[in-house]
Amino acid sequence: MNSYLIKIFIFFVSMTFPTENDFIGKHISKFPSAALGSDHGYKKDYRIVGDFAYLGKPYEILFLFTDKNDIVQSYDILFEGDIDRAFYNLMIKKYGNPDSIVNIKNISESATSIDENGISAKQFIGKLMECSFDENPFLIKWIENKIEIRFDLKKPDAPFKKTIIHFGN
């Protein structure tokens, strides 16, 4: 009985999120629920809102990025919170070991600028260093069938606790 439930769960998890090939290279018209976010002339971004899951982890917004001809080039999913070891292990099971896992070391401020509205921005310089998952990586990257799968992980002191997984180039 338990193996039957596990098979149903695996089927459900795999069906709750389209594969990388379900979006990339397709015209945006194939996704009628996609709402235009912004149009930069040479590229556009769209949003699809719903109740989705990727490897069992829920999220609500899928971001699609197209070229000027409205062909999807990449997409992002945004999770609340951090990625834990269990989710990381699911990614390894699906894609193998990451091609790159790095953290930023030797961070220093290099410049501060203030725009015409009085908003200031600081620029920082650091060095990317290979690390392990347990060393709180900033970026984890897989290359799968010429598609980059990239985790942009937030630092523990970041004001917003979100993790982005980017699929595409």
Q: 78-134: per-residue pLDDT in tens?
A: 888 778 899 999 989 988 999 999 888 877 777 788 888 888 887 777 888 999 999
Q: Could you tell me which residue, 18 or 55, shows the higher pLDDT?
A: 55
- What is the rounded distance in angstroms from the CA atom of residue 92 to the CA atom of residue 122? 35
φ and ψ at 88, to 5 degrees? -55, -40
**pLDDT score for 80:** 82
CB 79 within 8 A of CB 87: no
| pLDDT band (50, 70, 90) for residue 12 | very low
Q: What's 56's DSSP letter? A: T
Q: Given this model, what pLDDT does residue 2 score?
A: 47
Mean pLDDT for the chain overall: 80
Segment 127-144 shows an average pLDDT of: 88
Ranges 17-26, 35-44, 82-91, 134-143: which has the least confidence: 17-26
Mean pLDDT of 8-36: 69
Burial (CB < 10 A; 0-12, 13-18, 19+), residue 32, is: exposed
Neighbours of 141 (CB within 10 A): 16
Calculate the alpha carbon distances from 104 to 49, 77, 121, 136 in Å. 33, 23, 19, 10
Identify the pLDDT of residue 20.
Answer: 53
Could you tell me the pTM of the whole model?
Answer: 0.72
Provide the pLDDT confidence category of residue 157 given band limits of 50, 70 and 90.
low
Residue 87 Cα distances to 57, 91, 139, 149, angstroms = 8, 6, 15, 14
Q: What count of Cα atoms within 13 Å lies in the side-chain half-sphere of residue 84?
A: 6
Q: Is the predicted pLDDT of residue 77 greater than 50, yes or no? A: yes
Token digits for 30? 């194939």
